[in-house]
Amino acid sequence: MAEEKKSLLRVHSYTKECIERYDGASSQQTKTSDAGPLVQMKLTDAIFDLCRANSLWPITFGLSCCAIEMMCCGMARFDLARYGAEVFRPSPRQSDLMIVAGTVNRKMAPAVVTLYEQMPAPRYVIAMGNCAIAGGPFAVEANYDVVLGVDTLIPVDVYIPGCPPRPEALIEGILQLQEKITGKRFPFPQNKMPKGA
């Protein structure tokens, strides 16, 4: 590798800056994480929220073990497609939901924040698994590298505990996120109860 290109390997760690930028954002959660468009009309907002809730596009952001459960969720048995969320986009520009599935450490933290900031608003974050919530099994004294919870970096909408959480738990998290977006569980046109249940 050419000498001048080796500087590309430097990763700027601006974890502290992120914490200051989004300080307390998780506690002041509103329906969307920013001010919103200039002209707001209640009925169209409600319709757009229904549309967004029923077609969340997650970003492929599996970091470690929880990623496998996220993949299982998108497959035939636990089918996330019935809630409109099976289209995992590789690019943050085309997605509106970031499911942080796995452990974030100090080297990965700037990448998480960069990806979050590249997502267009309105965007939502689900912290999946104990590691993303609060460091999980790595929140011990000997730890020197794991960020204790992704909500120290970016505002989180829904927390899904588990190590790893079952795919059903992830589906429940998606449903809770839909409730957060629209104000009611199973927003139109979803059925209130699954058929045959």
Partner 1 sequence: MAMDVEILDDPKHHRYVLNMGPQHPSTHGVLRVLLELEGEYAMELLPVLGYGHRCHEKIAEHKPAKSFMPNTARMDYLGALIYNHGFAQLLERATGIEVPERAEYIRVITSELNRIQSHLLWYGAYLLDLGAFTPIMYAFDDREHILDILEDVTGSRLTYCYFRVGGVSKDIDDKFVTSTRAFIDRLRSRFPMYEGLVNGNVILQKRLIDVGELDPKICSRYGITGPLLRGAGVGYDLRKSEPYSIYDRFDFEVPTETKGDCMASFLVRFREMEQSLRIIEQALDSLPEGPVMAAKVPKKLKIPAGDYNSSVEAPRGELSYYLVSDGTDVPYRLKVRTPSYSNLSVIPEMCQGMLLSDVVSAMGALDLVIPEIDR
Partner 2 sequence: MDIKAVKTGWKKLAKAIEDVDYAVFGYDYSVSLEQSNVRDFATMMLDNGFYLVDLMAVHVAPSIEVVYQYAHVETRCRVMARAFVDSNNEIATISDIYQGANWHERETRDFHGVVFTDHPYLEPIILAEEDVDLKPLLKTEAALKDVDVVRRKQPEPKVETAAAKSQEPS
Contact positions toward partner 2, by CB under 8 A?
A: 9-11, 13, 106-107, 144-145
SS3 state at 13: coil
Considering CB distances under 5 to 8 angstroms, the limit depending on partner class, which of partner 2, partner 1, none binds residue 17? none
**Using rule CB under 8 A, residue 10 touches partner 1:** no
d(CA 29, CA 39): 21
SS3 state at 166: coil
Using CB under 8 A, which of 44, 94, 143, 191 touches partner 1?
Answer: 143
What 3 state SS string does 46-103 have? HHHHHHHHHCCCEECCECCCHHHHHHHHCCCCCCHHHHCCCCCECCHHHCCEEEEECC
Tell me how far, at minimum, the Cβ of 141 lies from partner 2, in Å. 12
Considering CB distances under 5 to 8 angstroms, the limit depending on partner class, which of partner 1, partner 2, none binds residue 31? none
Please give the residues from 85 up to 124 whose contact with partner 1 meets the rule CB under 8 A.
88, 90, 102-103, 105, 107-108, 111, 115
**Using rule CB under 8 A, residue 144 touches partner 1:** yes
